[in-house]
Structures are given as C-alpha cells and as structure tokens.
Structure 1
Amino acid sequence: MIKSILLTLLGVFFILNGLNHFFNSKILEEYAEKRSLFAPKWMLLISGMLLIFGGFTLISGYFLIYGCLGLCIFLIIASFSIHKFWSLKDKQESMMESMHFTKNWAITFELIYIADTVGAPLFS
C-alpha cells in the first residue's frame, strides 16, 4: 500500500513538472537558451511529454520499465546540458545548479531502484 502511494506521489511530481514545461514554456525556453541547449523549443516539448509519460507509468504501473528508463535519460541529459554548475562564474548560481545536478542524480538512482524492485528485475 505504501509503495503505491509513494509511486503515485512521484508520478504526480513528474506529471506536474511536465505540465510546467508547457505552461511556462517561454520562461523555460529562455533558461534553456541561456544554457546553450540545442533546439530549446523542441527539447522543451519532448522533455515535457517524456515527463508526463514517465509520471503516468509510475502511477499506473504499465510500461514501468520504459517510463523509468525515459525519465532516467531525461534526468541525465538535463544534468549535463542544463545544470552545468562547473562552468558558471557566479558562486550563487553555481551552487543552485549543483543542487539541481545532484537532485537529478538522486532521483535517477531512485528510479533505477524502482524499476528493479517494482517491475521486472533488471539486475539478478
């Protein structure tokens, strides 16, 4: 029961973040351009859909492995393309980006754990 509640909450987290990619697209597109992301408008659209799909897989349990994989790919790409704290001069901005970078990796490891324990075992 508790696993279902936690997976639902995590799924809602990703769905809300995916919807944020659509509702605040101008702000996020400017942020992505500032970080020199390739084709920011398209990447924003793709990442928003990926986040929503991944969130629904966590909630429903259907295609869970694919949802976790997609979310992991998104988080890894976002970590290295958007949250490049090592290349920033401003200490405060660098600190914020390093927190986002490590948060993305913590969530990535959590998703790998979920995929291994809730879905079909990845590692035996």
Structure 2
Amino acid sequence: MIKTILLILLGLFFILNGVNHLINSSFYEEYSHKKGLISPKLMVRISGIALIFGGLSLATGYLMTIGIIGLSAFLVIASFTIHQFWKEEGHDKKLLEGMHFAKNMAILTELIYIANS
C-alpha cells in the first residue's frame, strides 16, 4: 500500500514537471538555448511529453518499465547537457546547477531501485 502511494506521488512529480515544461515552454526553450541544446523548442516539448507519460506509467503501474527507461533517459540527458555545474562560472550558478544535477542523480537512483524491486 505504501509503495503504491509513493509511486503515485513520484508519478505526480513527473507529471507536474512535464506540464510545467509545456506551459512554460518559452522559459525552458530560452534556458536550453543558453545551455547550447540542439533544437531547444523541440527538445522542451519532447521532454514535457516524456515526463508526463513516464509519470503516468509510475502512477498507474501501466508499462512501468518503459516509463522508467524513458524517465531515466531524460534524467541522464538533462543532467549532462543542461546541468553541467562543472562548466559554470560563479559560485551561485555552480551551486544551482550542482543541486539540479544531484537531484536528478538521486531520482535516477530511485528509479533504478523501483525497476529492480
């Protein structure tokens, strides 16, 4: 029962982030462009849809392995292309990107644990 509730909450986390990517796409596109991402407009929309579908898979348990693979791919790609704290100038930017990178790695670890249980 507790595992189900936690999966639903984790799924909602991803769903809300995906919706945020789509609603605030201009912000994410500009941010992605500054980070040198190829085709920011397309990538932001793809990531928003992937986050929503991955979150739905966790929340419903339907096609969960595929959802976990998609979310894991997103987290790895976002971490190593967008949250490159090691390339940042200035303490605040390094800290902010480092926190996002660490958060993504923690969530990735959680997804791998869920896939193995």
| Fold similarity call, TM over 0.5 | yes
| Aligned position for 1:26 | 26
| Paired residue type of 1:5 | I
Unaligned residue ranges in structure 1 (runs of 5+): 118-124
Mapped to 2, the partners of 1:38 and 1:58 lie a distance apart of 29
| Aligned position for 2:112 | 112
What stretches of structure 1 move > 3 A for 4+ residues in a row? Answer: none
Mapped to 1, the partners of 2:66 and 2:97 lie a distance apart of 27
Instruction: Check if 1:62 corresponds to 2:55.
Output: no
**Structure whose residues are more often helix by fraction:** 2
TM-score normalised over the length of structure 1: 0.93
Q: Percent identity?
A: 56
Q: Deviations over 1:46-86 (max 9, x none)?
A: 10010000000001101100000100000000000000111
| Paired residue type of 1:57 | S
Secondary structure at 2:36's aligned position in 1?
coil
Mapped to 2, the partners of 1:69 and 1:109 lie a distance apart of 12
Mapped to 2, the partners of 1:106 and 1:66 lie a distance apart of 19
| Aligned position for 1:8 | 8
